[in-house]
Structure 1
Amino acid sequence: MRPLAGQVVLITGASRGIGAAVARKLAEDGARLALVGLEPDELKKVAEDCGPDAGWWEADVTDVDSLRTAVEEIAARYGRIDAVMANAGIAAPGFTRSMDPKAWERVIEVNLLGVWRTVHLTLPYLLESKGYLLLVSSLAAIVRIPGLASYNVAKAGVEAMGDTLRAELKHLGVRVGVAHMTFVDTDMVRGVDSHPVFGKVRTGIPMVGRTYPLEFAVEKFVEGIKKRSRTVHVPGWIGALKVVRWALPHLIEAGSRFSVPKADAAALADVRARGAAASSRPTGAGGLADAEKAAGK
């Protein structure tokens, strides 16, 4: 376990949720926080909570130029980057056949390509510091819940990226971790649960119906960063699921054979009533901020 005092930790998606909470906890342990996200007012509040040495940069992980500028300014300010938590992400519920295609693709753009861009731009600094890279995947990479196809695909890709990078970078002194967490009490998850169709789908599935406290996840993430862990599981039973993941699609299919047809009909009705864009809009305040950014507002 490495002491965090003085280490420069860059976190994307730091305006809210797990990113903001982990940043505050790392600051308590003496880390120097570089916060990257979309909502400047929220980022400023988090930075103020993280102490006078914390900084914030408004940047969109889907915009390589703004992200590059942020990373270069962070490196110039602190002189180094010791750890990166690639955390920025959104969720847009909807069945693939009826949801807004732009919303489906936006999830891939943020959750997968945004992580890739973060890795690409910060890796030169991590090679210098022999640092640590933590990619935030999800239980969705293992248990593919109906109604979250784009999220499942993106998080599975993040897991594969982390597993590959771990082997590619170990001899260069950079350690790579992949975090898998189930549903945690954040603005994004509350937004999914408030959806008139897909909130009921999510909470009705065994294992993923429970929502864990944010503080529980924060402790696991901070411990993982301190130890430069190869995996972070929130909760620990996710690790056991990886061993039997080959059986999980069959279990999900069996468990969904009655609930999905009803939800599918309800989703089509919701699309007819509100439109595909509203029905599959990214959830929570962070999702709204990303949607406004994507629309050019």
Structure 2
Amino acid sequence: MGGVSPLHGRTAVVTGAARGVGERAALALARRGARVALLGHEEAELARVADRCREAGAPAHAWPADVTDDARMAEVARDVERRMGPASVVVANAGIAAAGPFERTAPESWRRIVEVNLVGSAVTARAFLPALLATRGYYLLVSSLAALSPVPLMTAYGASKAGAEAFAAGLRAELAHRGVAVGVARLSWYDTDLIRAADDHRVMRELRRHLPWPADRVHSDDRVGELLARGAERRRPVLHLQPWLRLVPALGPLLPAVVARGARQALSRLDEDETALAPTGLLGPGGEADEAAGA
């Protein structure tokens, strides 16, 4: 990395930190000497990640929290500042997903995805905004290819990520003169627990199989944490965690047309098979933890 990181000695908050992209980001921040606050549902997993951060030589503490709960997030933000100092970096990574036809997806599942991915990102920003203003810090929203392209069979996920990016863009313009930087990190499919769980469902395998290359590829998550931490060091407004994602906005209406044509061909065949398009429910251990927390 070369020299002391600008994040050394600063407090970094990561939501959805119990596994996957959040865990990788937390570890990369810890390796840069940041004090790491870990937020999420899964207390045992958060404790494990905190131990790993401490092994990397950084102070780390975990807080169980639902990112859609305004009161709880405000309480956590105060406690993080009391124990670790005001946050200089906030990585809004918490997210959930499900797949299946819109008409067959349970309304409560569809709504919950939007609440966590979009509303939860805003609640996170609101809770930690006083600290970010005090430190002239950096808020990083973990987004997705789904924010830029239609994702049939994942309408809630696509809508939530597109909305979250719009929120981040507006917040960036609103806070720039006050010294707070806002970034979005766009990524495609990563080899996480969520994606591995998704592959147990035929609807998800069919979805990815009919995406155009390279959007159908699953990438190793080995470097994702380092890329996010490097973006935080540089306070980047947009991070493309796969280089080809930079081309997607330039494609304009072309990519939606390609996706729509592929979906039309695939779905016309699969519609006759009741099991092929069965809704998945919330995916992966993170989805299960979210459902358990709300039970």
TM range (shorter): over 0.9
2:36 counterpart residue number: 33
- Provide the aligned length of Structure 1 versus Structure 2: 288
Contact 1:135–1:179 under 8 Å retained in 2: yes
Q: Tell me, which stretches of 5 or more residues in structure 1 are unaligned? A: none
CA spacing shift, 1:243–1:73, aligned 2, 3 Å: same
Partner deviation per Cα, 1:179-228 (whole Å, 9 max, x = no partner): 11000011111122211222222233223211011013222212111111
Cα separation, partners in 2 of 1:282 and 1:34, compared to 1, 3 Å: same
Q: Which amino acid aligns with 1:98?
A: R
Verify: 1:120 aligned to 2:126, yes or no.
yes
Aligned equivalent of 1:175: 181
Q: 1:263 to 1:220 in 2, by over 3 A?
A: farther
SS of aligned partner of 2:9: coil
Judge conservation of contact 2:210–2:262 (CA < 8 Å) in 1: no
Identity within the alignment, %: 39
- Within 2, Cα distance between the matches of 1:60 and 1:232? 26
Partners of 1:231 and 1:108 lie apart in 2 by 22
The question of 1:222 aligning with 2:229 is answered: yes
The answer to whether the Cα contact below 8 Å between 1:103 and 1:280 also exists between their aligned partners in 2 is: no
Is the contact between residue 37 and residue 58 of structure 1 (CA under 8 Å) also seen in structure 2?
A: yes
CA contact (8 A) 1:198 1:263 kept: no
Match of 1:88 among 83, 91, 94: 94
Question: What TM-score do you get using the length of structure 1 for normalisation?
Answer: 0.93
Aligned residue type for 1:83 = V
Match 2:268 to one of 247, 257, 261: 261
The answer to whether 1:236 aligns with 2:239 is no
> Take 1:116 and 1:265, find their aligned partners in 2: how far apart are those partners?
40
1:270/1:203 CA distance change after superposition, 3 Å: closer
Check 1:263–1:74 CA distance in 2 against 1; reply closer, same or farther (3 A cut): farther
1:252 to 242, 259, 262: 259
Offset, 1:270 = 5.9
Q: 2:165 aligns with which of 159, 162, 168?
A: 159
Letter in 1 for 2:20: G
Q: TM-score, normalised on structure 2?
A: 0.93
Bigger CA drift: 5-14 or 66-75? 66-75
The correspondence of residues 126-137 of structure 1 with structure 2, limited to 5 A, is 126-137=132-143
| Moved >4 Å (runs of 4+) | none
1:244/1:2 Cα in 2 relative to 1: closer, same or farther (>3 Å)?
Answer: farther
Deviation at 1:30, TM superposition (A): 0.6
Structure 1 residue 79: Cα displacement? 2.4
Residue identity opposite 2:53 in structure 1: C
RMSD: 1.6
Cα distance 1:8–1:164, how it changes in 2: closer, same or farther (>3 A)?
same
C-alpha distance in 2, partners of 1:253/1:91?
21
Deviation at 1:2, TM superposition (A): 5.6
